Amino acid sequence: MQKLIPPVLRGTIKPAFNPRLPLGLRRRWLELTSRAMLAPRDCRYEATTLGGRPAERVRAHAQLNRSVILYLHGGGYFMGSPRTHRAITGRLARLTGATVYVPEYRLAPEHAYPAQLQDALAAYRALLDHGVAAECIAVAGDSAGGHLALSLLLALREIGLPQPAAAVLLSPWADAGLDGESVERIGARDPMLTPKWARLTGADFRGGVEADDPRVHLLAADLTGLPPLRIEVGSNEILLSDAEGLCEAAEAVGVEVSFRRWDGYWHVFQVHAGLLRAAAESLEGIAAWLRERWA
């Protein structure tokens, strides 16, 4: 299965990242193709609101605990939704017993930075306002959602709100200029992303913010005081350097980091947990790590 999935991704998911196609078509394409990802059926996916934005609440039918995961979906900041990531959010709900909230934050290019950060911050504030203790919250995100999750942690520190117990970053984007060594080295071998698409999307997301601004170029940000981080990345993706750079930067300022590089795997391969043993193993390990942090 590990060898079969990348060619399928090139023919199905990768076209959704083609900047030459109309944006509306790319968004619908991703929504349709994501239905092939096997979302757990023993979970409830409920429409709700969080922080003034539409959101999805994901809960397993089994016994729930007090823990909450605020999951920020990927999609380059210009597509994706709670529905496209149910293969991950459903399994995290099932494996941890937590309630998972997935806000439908505003997308670029209609809404440039900092709209997405404002929505994520409003969602986190809403959890606190609803009586969820910060030590019971974990923040998680993949790809651009990983960038947003880390941006949220930095914003919480700056405004003095309590940090969550932990954060999980899957294949996180961190280098706003996409200048990492892996971008060109892996390039065309990445079965999902292309450097050209990633740079164009990053420019649309940033709006008038320069690529080297620490607010968006998170490898240049001061990560002091952040909660424990779990970072996972595939060896066959252009964002490998971003994940490795974040790990080094966080450890350099004393942040606890659990890092895993999955050799032979691709961008956010965890969405294939219903088909791929390594994807299921990754989410099982993340769930166990989160339970330790909540404890």
- Six token digits for residue 72: 């920020």
- Residues with Cβ within 8 Å of residue 1, at least 6 apart in sequence: 275, 276, 277
Catalytic residue, chosen from 56, 104, 232, 237, is 237
Establish whether 34 is a catalytic residue: no
Phi, psi of 198 (to 5 degrees): -60, -40
Q: What is the pLDDT of residue 256?
A: 98
How far apart are the C-alpha atoms of 267 and 69, rounded to whole Å? 21
* H or E element at residue 159: helix 144-159
Distance CA 173, CA 178 (A): 9
Query: Among this protein's residues, is 267 annotated catalytic?
Result: yes
Mean pLDDT of 165-171: 98
pLDDT interval class at 57 (50, 70, 90): very high
pLDDT band at 188 (very low <50, low <70, confident <90, very high): confident
Q: Mean pLDDT lowest for which of 106-115, 122-131, 188-197?
A: 188-197
Query: Of these residues, 34, 67, 143, 171, which one is catalytic?
Result: 143
Q: Which of 285, 223, 218 is nearest to 251 (CA)?
A: 223
Provide φ and ψ at 166, rounded to 5°.
-170, 170
What pLDDT, in 10s, does the model give residues 254-273? 999 999 999 999 999 999 99
Average pLDDT over residues 151-163: 98
Q: Please tell me the least confidently modeled range out of 14-23, 31-40, 165-174, 176-185.
A: 14-23
Closest listed residue to residue 198, CA positions, set 234, 239, 233: 239
Reported as half-sphere exposure (CB side, CA atoms, 13 A), residue 184 has a value of: 4
Sequence-distant (6+) residues with CB within 8 A of 266 are 5, 6, 9, 190, 191, 192, 234, 236, 237
Q: How many CB atoms lie within 10 A of CB 237?
A: 26
Please identify which of the residues 56, 267, 272, 282 carries the catalytic annotation. 267
| Residue 1: band (very low, low, confident or very high) from pLDDT cuts 50, 70, 90 | confident
Quick one: pLDDT at residue 148? 98
Confidence band of 126 (pLDDT split at 50, 70, 90): very high
What is the three-class DSSP state of 280?
A: helix
> Would the pTM of this model clear 0.75, i.e. be above it?
yes
Distance separating alpha carbons of residues 246 and 25, to the nearest angstrom: 33
Question: Across residues 7-30, what is the average pLDDT?
Answer: 89
> Can you tell me the mean pLDDT for 126-141?
98
Is 241 known to be catalytic?
no
- If phi > 0 it is left, if psi is from -120 to 50 it is alpha, else beta; for residue 76 that is left
C-alpha to C-alpha distance for 6 and 200, rounded to whole angstroms: 23
Using CA atoms, how far apart are residues 147 and 151, in angstroms rounded to an integer?
Answer: 6
Structural domains of the chain, ranges and CATH numbers in brackets: 5-294 (3.40.50.1820)
- pLDDT at residue 4 tops 90: no
41's CB contacts (< 8 A; 6+ apart) are none
Categorize the per-residue pLDDT at 197 as very low, low, confident or very high, splitting at 50, 70 and 90: confident
